[in-house]
Amino acid sequence: MKPDIIKIASVTLNADGHLLIVKPKGKSTWISLGGKLEEGETEVECLKREIKEELNVETISEPEFFYETDLEMTADGSGKTVIVKFYTVEVDAHLVPDGDEIESFMWLSKDDFETKVKGNHSLVIGSGLEKFAIPKLIELDLLK
């Protein structure tokens, strides 16, 4: 079945093997950088644009396809379906949340994921990250 929504998202790891996640303004759920395709845009162009808009940084590597989630229902209860396509990408180290869209960012470690997300649930992350991308990063021994 074809999804109603396709989202493009980043998998950005720092030198310590921690994953960049962001907290959108006014939301409690942490997500990866990214968004929806605009008319005539490729997936890579979308991701580069979203990263520039959200953290005011340029990509320093060409995004490469990493993982696609299973088809899921959107969290907003609209009855629409969504898939998320994750791309690995490196960004300039000087991250500056834009303030309009992104409230803050953090580098998530494997220990953070296991204790704060899976353990005591003190950190809420998007389902595409929690159920698909992060387990794949752990399986590949990329998230440290």
DSSP per-residue string spanning 94-115: -----SSSEEEEEEE-HHHIII
Let me know if domain 5-139 sits in CATH 3.20.20.70: no
pLDDT on residue 33: 93
Name every residue whose Cβ is closer than 8 Å to that of residue 120 and which is 6 or more positions away in sequence.
none
Q: Read off the pLDDT band of 96 (50, 70, 90).
A: confident
pLDDT on residue 93: 79
Whether the pLDDT of residue 92 is over 90: the answer is no
Domain assignments of the chain as residue spans, ordered by start = 5-139
The pLDDT tens digits of the residues spanning 37-89 come to 999 999 999 999 999 999 888 899 999 999 999 988 887 889 999 999 999 99
pLDDT on residue 94: 82
pLDDT on residue 43: 96
Taking a C-beta distance cutoff of 8 angstroms, is the pair 142, 87 a contact? no
Quote the pTM value: 0.91
pLDDT on residue 98: 76
Nearest to 118 by CA among 99, 143, 140, 84: 143
Whether the pLDDT of residue 134 is over 90: the answer is yes
